Copies of this chain bind each other. A is one copy, B any other.
Amino acid sequence: MFEAAELGRKISKQEFKDAEVTLRTDLLEVQRALRTAGFPVVLIVSGVEGAGKSEVVNRLSGWLDMRGVVTTSFWDETEEERERPRYWRFWRTLPAAGQIGVFYGSWYTQPIIQRVFGEIDEADYQRELTRIASFERMLALDGALFVKLWFHLSQSAVERMFRKRDKRERKGLKSEWRTNPFSKKYAKRYEEFARVSERAIQITDLGVSPWHIVEAEDRRYRELRAGQLLLQRLRERLAHAERQQNGDTPPVSPPVAEPGEALSVLSRVDLDASLDESSYRKRLKQLQERLHELTLIARERKRSTVILFEGWDAAGKGGAIRRVCASMDARLFRVIPIAAPTDEERAHHYLWRFWRHLPRAGFVTIFDRSWYGRVLVERVEGFAAPAAWKRAYLEINQFEEEQVEHGTVLVKFWLHLSPEEQLRRFQEREQTAWKKHKITDEDWRNRERWDAYEHAVNDMVARTSTTSAPWTLIAGNDKYCARVQVLSTLCERLEAALLPPQT
């Protein structure tokens, strides 16, 4: 979930200055439109301790016309608040229609901290999160616009910051990085916070109130990005309201513009990795034998496995799937290719066609393309309405959670390759008689939408890569390398599930 916010995004002083001028003007313009539009905006500023949330709030205050903004921070409950039902303190601070409520700390803060420090158990925590979801859904259905920002720092970034601060302090210099007395206490629990926060984001990432995870290491990036996300969401909503008045059908929303160089999780995949043929043969044999063994153990222990493959056209899904299949007893698995749905499938909820193919205990189902079509091709090509694909992230997370809860080992692959390598393969296919059928006009069309797809892939990983069902991004420029990565990931995941480390 957080991997899409650990890409090292940063922007220069000059870029910031240039962007800031436009952004401020634009923000003031949408604020004017908001005043008459008649809905409230709830902007939540959350995230890792030390990620500069306070500075973001200050920066936004500088940019916005503060006559239409109410900023609220939640520290300790006051006596007045303690004497009333818990949510009273939140209700009293909700912005009115036409206003922007900036929440530094929110209904999320206390449950997350209580869970990390073990003051509430997992069941209570989950109950709290579903209460939050129903609170936000209620306000959103009433018209409120939610902009929820989660400022993320990687563990190494946090450590770097502490080292930097300590070094400056030893020299008697003041640190530019502001910390509070809790920072160190929280930083020590980084992993715990990450796990608990992931859960919060997962359960409350509603179509009507989605989260945006913002990479927070670079101050200029995070502040600009916060402003731009607020601007973008406000513009979308104002345009939507206008279209509704004019009776037009809303078109697909444009992707949120990123400040600086647009980075996605895919930019971090090392496509230069390669493997020579003899090493490949050797490694392939080892891994296939190991996988064979593991799937038999899984059969015996009645643990099911679901493997899904997504990826660019010509990235080598077919070849990888064949190597996986060749490792297993033919009775153990089924490959389900996902193309256009059948009539019967079309007459059901889009998840129905996947539910029906879930494997029996101990068996393996391989999906060649999957339920992620909803947030990839259907999103990019406009086959699904924005409201439909936006709520699909939550639906997919719940679907996968039900599988994992049941004990299924769920492995998700995205096969990546460079546009250049794709072009080479397309051309090769066109020139090879027995590969010609594999390349169609549609492949060329999809290729033209590379950026839109890459953006959708990044969102998909950010919203659906969870601890229990993570995405594995495979470097596919070198086919040998890709297949070995797929097989070794499968072996690792099965080993972790079937042969937990001895303690």
Contact = CB atoms under 8 A, between A and B. Distances in A.
Interface stretch (A57-65, A253-261, A284-292, A348-356): A348-356
B349 A86 contact: no
A363 to B, nearest CB: 8
B84 A360 contact: yes
A302 to B, nearest CB: 7
Contacts of A96: 344, 347-348
A423 interface: no
Interface in A367-403: 388, 391, 395, 398, 402-403
Nearest to A349: B142
Contacts of A97: 346-348
A80 interface: yes
B88 A355 contact: yes
Nearest to A392: B138
Contacts of A398: 134, 138
A497 B372 CA distance: 52
A402 B87 contact: yes
A339 interface: no
A251 interface: no
Given A98-B347, A123-B124, A398-B134, A356 B406 contact: no
Contacts of A85: 358, 402-403, 405-406, 408
Interface in A83-117: 83-88, 91-92, 94, 96-99
A11 interface: no
Contact of A127 (B123, B302, B347): B123
Copies of this protein chain in the complex: 2
A271 interface: no
Interface in A117-134: 123-124, 126-127, 130, 134
A433 interface: no
A247 interface: yes
A270 B314 CA distance: 78
A355 B135 CA distance: 13
Interface string A127-153: 100100010001101101000000000
A38 B362 CA distance: 37
A40 interface: yes
Contacts of A126: 127
Contacts of A38: 347
Contact of A356 (B91, B130, B247): B91
Contacts of A141: 391
A94 B352 CA distance: 9
Contact of A86 (B99, B362, B406): B406
Contacts of A302: 83
A361 interface: yes
A83 B348 contact: no
6 contacts: A85-B406, A97-B347, A126-B127, A127-B130, A138-B398, A247-B247
Please list the 4 inter-chain residue pairs (A to B) with the smallest Cβ-Cβ separation, ordered nearest first: A83-B361, A96-B347, A85-B406, A91-B355
